[in-house]
Chain A
Amino acid sequence: MKILVTIKRVEDYESKIKVRPDNTWIVTEGVNYRANPFDEIAVEEALRLRDTNAPSEVVAVSIGSGAATAEIRSALAMGADRGIHVKHDGFVDSDAVARLLVKVIEKEKPDLVLMGKQAVDVDDNVTGQLLAEYLGYGQATFASKKESLESPEEKGKKPGLKLAADKKSIQVVREVDGGVETLELQLPGIVTVDLRLNIPRYASLPNIMKAKKKPIEELNPAGLGVDVAPKVKVVKVEAPPARAAGVKVPDVATLIQKLHNDAKVV
């Protein structure tokens, strides 16, 4: 089967994020970049599905500036077979990303598309769902599994998504409010992954070397015939309101007294 995974280049969650003084965006100088953590989980799942269903192929796609090839390379170093880079400088909203992906998918015709549930820069949590609707596909968002990340299944690197014997559908366990839901998704379909689907592998040094030779095809929005003017524009970016500093209390007796008499919450 052919599996397409999407990778977004995002600010490293360990970097300090500060708002620009002109309130147009965040300060990007001095910030580290990396692949969106959810997308690494998507790549890991794609590799496990590929390796238990040979012959299969994993194609990693990123939309972004020239620098995003680094994140495609990181997916290739994890084990993806080839990359596609839709090159565009500047802001692309999630809707435009979804419409670009439609074009890539029409060309590639994958059986399954694996994406992160949320990009941890814009925190939108919409792209996979938009894409599924544009394509008329089914979707299973927030994919997880019943087994924990400490389970023998995870240690054995088993796929959390269960492909049917006829490869026409896949069973997905989803994290929803109040519990977990299982859906059977007809292929081709879209799955967005949550945190507890797997623990992504690290790229080994030999695989990092090998990844340098794997092909990355370069495309652009104009060539794909997609207008990337945003439907949702970011007009201002501000620092969050600061919380007033609190106090340390010496013991439980003082704490309960403060909660009861001052804050009146107990």
Chain B
Amino acid sequence: MATILLVAEQAHGHLKKATLSALTAAQQLAQKNGGQIQGLAVGAGAQTAAQELAAYGIPVHAVEAGFEHALAETHGAAIAEAVKKLAATDVIIAATAYGKDIAPRVAARLGAGIASDVMAVVSANQFKRAMWAGNAIATVEVTTKVKVVTVRATEFAAAQKGGSAGAVQALAVSAPAAKTKFVEYAEVKSARPELTEAGVVVSGGRGTKGDFKPIEALADALGAAVGASRAVCDAGWQPNDLQVGQTGKVVAPKLYIAAGISGAIQHLAGMKGSKTIVAVNKDPEAPIFQVADYGLVADLFKALPELTEEVKKLK
């Protein structure tokens, strides 16, 4: 029988929400190939994260010692070894920065084919994924016996807790000597919700001219995350981490507000799955209006503060 190994993303025992979307993808694959899902958490805090994941009704293995930093070389090797030990046929990881970094190494180590950033599970070996900045949706077939899949979290609802919790077991795997060394991590601290996990996102573009105060005020009134176009991140106005798009983050909140963003295809690739899209742009011809449910032709410096006041009145 097929064993599907779901690799958790966790930091110091905190399970990343994208893992739960990947679990849903794993469940869909299990329906197609009759397989059984087991979880795997690697790194410092793996035990704690494994407990959390096991509450979703799957057995979870934890690899803790020797894998403190999320180096692709060591985590990739650990995952590949776990795949062999558990005789897994499929490996599923959320397509976050972590997943994108390590999953191909797992595939190469196992001689497996990799389908990256998949949006749908078509069959036991076919998946849908976006190409050309979302201008086309391809169905790809992984022809190898072992398959590695990274999952676009926004396309799969988070799995729900259910059934009895699975067992958590420590798994012993050897840590290879790494040729990369962790030096430091500079976190961009923010009191706002995380961009990819937020229910509402307010994004600003070059039209802000770098002044994000109206964007942030509206975001705070809505309890929203802040996003940005590439132009904004390139200019250094906002952290790179906030870029939404083909080559940045993919988001699909229930409400996405784009202000001063023209709506280039590369930006749309990262947000057109949102449930409701609002565009505020002073150019009535801006392409963003073609995907907006509600378009407001206005100066964002005037419209956003007004909108912020209206939102506050509703609360």
- For B304, the closest partner residue in chain A by CB is A252
Residue B171 CB within 8 A of the other chain:
no
Chain A: minimal CB distance from B237 (Å):
9
Q: Is the CB of A186 within 8 A of B180?
A: yes
B73 near A256: Cβ-Cβ < 8 Å: no
Q: Is the CB of A185 within 8 A of B180?
A: yes
Interface of B is mostly: mixed
Residues of B within 8 A of A89 (CB): none
CA distance A154 to B170 in the complex (A): 47
Q: Which residue of A lies closest to B129 (CB)?
A: A123
Is B188 in contact with chain A by the CB < 8 A criterion?
A: yes
The reply to whether A140 and B294 contact each other, CB–CB distance below 8 Å, is: no
Instruction: Write out, one digit per residue, whether chain B residues 254-289 have a CB within 8 A of any chain A CB (1) or not (0).
Output: 110000000001100000100111100000100001
Q: Which residues of B contact A (CB under 8 A)?
A: 71-73, 76, 96-98, 100-105, 107-109, 112-117, 126, 129-144, 178-188, 194, 196, 200, 222, 230, 233-236, 239-241, 243, 246-247, 254-255, 265-266, 272, 275-278, 284, 289-298, 303, 306-307, 310-311, 314
Apart from A130-B105, A266-B222, what are 10 other A-B pairs with CB-CB below 8 Å? A17-B133, A126-B100, A126-B103, A129-B100, A149-B236, A179-B188, A181-B186, A186-B181, A237-B131, A255-B296
A180 within 8 A of B: yes
Contact indicator B181/A184 (Cβ below 8 Å): yes
Set of chain B residues within 8 Å of A179, measured between Cβ atoms: 185-188, 239, 241
**Chain A, residue nearest B253 (CB):** A265
Structural contact, B180 and A189, CB atoms closer than 8 A: yes
Residue with the highest number of chain A CB atoms closer than 10 Å, among B187, B284, B293: B293
Roughly how many angstroms separate A133 CA and B105 CA in the complex, as a whole number? 5
Residues of B contacting A144 with CB < 8 Å?
A: 240
B78 to chain A, nearest CB (A): 13
Contact between chains at B314 and A260 (CB < 8 Å): yes
A147→B179 CA distance, assembly (Å): 26
Question: What chain B residues lie within 8 Å of A194 (beta carbons)?
Answer: 240, 247
Interface residue A209 (Cβ < 8 Å from any Cβ of B): no
Q: Is the CB of B306 within 8 A of A249?
A: no
Tell me how far the C-beta of B177 lies from the nearest C-beta in chain A, rounded to whole angstroms: 10
Distance (Å) between the CB of A245 and the closest chain B CB? 8
Mark each residue of chain A from 56 to 74: 1 if its CB lies under 8 Å from any CB of chain B, else 0: 0000000000000000000
Q: How many angstroms from the CA of A66 to the CA of B234 in the assembled complex?
A: 34
A246 pairs with B294, CB closer than 8 A: yes
A138-168 interface (Cβ within 8 A of B): 138-142, 144, 146, 148-151
CB of A17 within 8 A of CB of B295, answer: no
